[in-house]
């Protein structure tokens, strides 16, 4: 472990919480997910280096409104959020390339509170590259990169360096199944001290056509992102998936109010996963669910925060009501 508590200003520390552990998680997740009656893979395995690049491309697509909508909200309210929280440390979970992060860091710098930034992401290249870039761009900033699973390793965050703003942007909270989301929000609540806040980005319920286009773009980038998970399994687990034999499917489920991304087998086929000594049979038309992306309302966000011991302190949205940023703190 690094000694980040004693690091001088302008220093970069990195810690990898995954190491060997991660390969075992992939194997366990895949065995469990592909031998179940309804086949499913956890979305975090979409993000190897190629998956991370494809996600970056998705963020630029005309159909994919969440990134630019959240950025526009942040541009408008970052100063107000920092005035309200007095944050000296920004901790970003699932930070990716940390593009929108700059808006918060700029506001902290203008307010004179900026001390440190902690990036937490499962994709090593994202953490290493963004940490190094931010260190260059913000002289004197302490940067800690934590390569970790935010569902399992939040106990490995460094000690806080002042009032903390814990940001979970992009709508990534929507990628949890409901029970995992509740667990996650409770563990976030446990991390917050009386001076700390959570800043949560959530995509909102809207018309089906807009939602489905965002997850099934005309350039086929999201389809490639989805199929990339099969390339991950081929490489990491010696599997022999033919990604072209699976169709990309993205549908809005109105009952659950979430988008489901699936890979649909075009034909009856068998796939071998050598590292698991496992053969998986697919019927023609059979699906693997690779991601859910839940869409929220203000009432749902407030209720889920309350259930986790948090309280909604501010709600910011765009003029269309397409995306929201919620500021929350511990109740009581």
Residues of this chain that interact with ligand SAH (CB under 6 A) are 44, 47, 55, 59, 67, 94-96, 100, 121-123, 126, 149-151, 169-170, 172
State the nearest-atom distance from the C-beta of 76 to ligand SAH, in Å: 17
Q: Residue 291: name its binding partner from ligand SAH, ligand AVI, none (Cβ under 5 to 8 Å by kind).
A: ligand AVI
Q: Note the residues at the interface with ligand AVI (CB under 6 A).
A: 58, 66, 170-172, 174-175, 215, 222, 225, 291, 293
Name residues whose C-beta falls within 8 Å of residue 20's C-beta, 6 or more positions apart in sequence.
Answer: none
Q: Select 158 or 171, whichever has its Cβ closest to ligand AVI.
A: 171
State the nearest-atom distance from the C-beta of 174 to ligand AVI, in Å: 5
Q: Select 13 or 228, whichever has its Cβ closest to ligand AVI.
A: 228
3-state DSSP: the chain helix, strand, coil percent, rounded to 5? Answer: 40, 25, 30
Look at residue 134 and give its three-state secondary structure.
Answer: helix
Contact 185, 210 (CB under 8 A): no
Q: Residue 122: name its binding partner from ligand AVI, ligand SAH, none (Cβ under 5 to 8 Å by kind).
A: ligand SAH
Name residues whose C-beta falls within 8 Å of residue 301's C-beta, 6 or more positions apart in sequence.
Answer: 200, 202, 312, 315, 324, 326
Q: Residue 151: name its binding partner from ligand AVI, ligand SAH, none (Cβ under 5 to 8 Å by kind).
A: ligand SAH
Q: Residue 293: name its binding partner from ligand AVI, ligand SAH, none (Cβ under 5 to 8 Å by kind).
A: ligand AVI
Q: Which long-range contacts (CB under 8 A, 24 or more apart) does 23-26 make?
A: 23/236, 25/149, 26/232, 26/236, 26/237
DSSP string of 156-209? GSPPP-SSEEEEE-TTGGGGS-HHHHHHHHHHHHHH--TT-EEEEEEEB---HH
Q: Select 258 or 282, whichever has its Cβ closest to ligand AVI.
A: 258
Q: Residue 222: name its binding partner from ligand AVI, ligand SAH, none (Cβ under 5 to 8 Å by kind).
A: ligand AVI
Q: Residue 121: name its binding partner from ligand AVI, ligand SAH, none (Cβ under 5 to 8 Å by kind).
A: ligand SAH
State the nearest-atom distance from the C-beta of 315 to ligand AVI, in Å: 19
Q: Taking the alpha carbons of 214, 220, 221, 226 in that order, is the dihedral positive or negative?
A: positive
């Amino acid at each position: 472990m690094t000694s980040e508590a004693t690091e001088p200003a302008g220093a970069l520390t990195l810690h990898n919480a995954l190491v060997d552990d991660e390969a075992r998680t992939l194997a366990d997740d895949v065995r469990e997910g592909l031998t179940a009656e309804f086949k499913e893979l956890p979305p975090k395995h979409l993000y190897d280096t190629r998956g991370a690049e494809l996600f970056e491309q998705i963020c630029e697509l005309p159909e994919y409104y969440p990134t630019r909508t959240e950025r526009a909200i942040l541009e408008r309210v970052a100063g107000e959020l920092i005035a309200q929280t007095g944050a000296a440390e920004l901790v970003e979970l699932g930070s990716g390339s940390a593009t929108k992060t700059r808006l918060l860091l700029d506001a902290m710098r203008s307010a004179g509170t900026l001390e440190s930034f902690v990036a937490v992401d499962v994709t090593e290249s994202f953490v290493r590259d963004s940490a190094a870039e931010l260190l260059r761009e913000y002289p004197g900033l302490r940067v800690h990169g934590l390569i970790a699973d935010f569902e399992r390793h939040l106990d490995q965050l460094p000690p806080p360096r002042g009032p903390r703003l814990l940001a979970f942007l992009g709508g990534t909270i929507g990628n949890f199944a409901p029970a995992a989301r509740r667990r996650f929000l409770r563990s976030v609540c446990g991390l917050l001290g009386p001076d700390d806040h959570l800043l949560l980005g959530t995509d909102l319920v809207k018309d089906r056509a807009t939602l489905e286009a965002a997850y099934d773009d005309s350039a086929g980038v999201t389809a490639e992102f989805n199929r990339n998970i099969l390339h991950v399994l081929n490489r990491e687990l010696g599997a022999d998936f033919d990604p072209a034999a699976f169709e990309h499917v993205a549908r809005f489920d109105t009952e659950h109010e979430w988008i489901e991304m699936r890979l649909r087998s075009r034909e009856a086929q068998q796939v071998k996963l050598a590292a698991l000594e496992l053969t998986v049979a697919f019927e023609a038309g059979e699906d693997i669910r690779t991601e859910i992306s839940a869409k929220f309302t203000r009432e749902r966000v407030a209720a889920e925060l309350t259930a986790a011991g948090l309280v909604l302190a501010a709600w910011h949205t765009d003029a269309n009501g397409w995306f929201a940023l919620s500021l929350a703190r511990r109740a009581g």
